Amino acid sequence: FRINLAWINDLKDLLDILSRHKENKIFIDLPKNRTKPPNNKYTMDEIKPILEKFQNIKYFAISNVDTKDDLAYYLDYIPNTISIVPKIESPKGVNNINEIVNSLRNEKIIMLDHDDLYSSMIKSNDDPKNFSTYIETLVNFCLKNDVILLRTVGVIFADTEKRTSEYVK
């Protein structure tokens, strides 16, 4: 069960969701340095007690990981029972994948956000033709090093969303 904290309006909502799903393994996604909406932000001081309380939280993804240094703070902060999952969203992250994976303490799992990788390339004037090369590099690294690579597959649309988010005027 994946929970993206960008979409959680307050931590009471998160606690309610976690309380209802105590039997599920939980994957929390922390949107670090997110600029697009929704853009709810929480501090690790707010999140850490929740991570310690709910033993079924098994994974904690951190976005915009470019180097192992981006993980250092979280490695010290997040309980050892939780696997940290770096989210690769830039060519720099792809180029530093070996050091990033080697800094992980539990399962070797990474996420790839194709859209953000491409956006990062455009922002840095990287040739769009390199997009496939970055993905191939990451896929091959993961295959050779027994790293699980979580990739976005399409977009889910539903007619059940009833919230009027704060970014919709």
* pLDDT score of 162: 57
| pLDDT of res. 134 | 97
Question: What is the pLDDT, as a whole number, of residue 161?
Answer: 58
* Residues facing 84 on adjacent strands: 60
Place of tokens 């970014």: 167
Reported in sequence order, the residue ranges of 8-153 that DSSP labels E, i.e. its strands, are 26-30, 57-62, 83-88, 109-112, 148-151
pLDDT given for residue 128 in this prediction: 93
The mean pLDDT values, 10 residues at a time, for the chain of 169 residues are: 87 92 92 66 89 95 94 90 96 97 95 92 95 96 96 67 47
Task: Tell me how far the alpha carbon of residue 65 is from its chain's centroid.
Answer: 9
Q: What is the pLDDT of residue 49?
A: 95
pLDDT at residue 32, as a whole number = 74
User: Cα 77 to the chain's mean position, in Å?
Assistant: 16
- pTM, whole model, 2 decimals? 0.86
**Cβ density class 117-136: b for 16+ within 10 Å, e for less:** bbebbeeeebeeeebeebbe
Q: Which residues of 76-106 are buried (b: 16+ CB within 10 A; e: fewer)?
A: eebeeebbbbbbbbbbebbbbbeebbebbee
Q: What is the pLDDT of residue 168?
A: 38
For residues 144 and 169, give the distance between their C-alpha atoms in angstroms, rounded to a whole number. 47
Helix 44-53, helix 11-20: angle, nearest 10: 10
Token pair belonging to 7: 């979409």
Question: What pLDDT is attached to residue 169?
Answer: 35
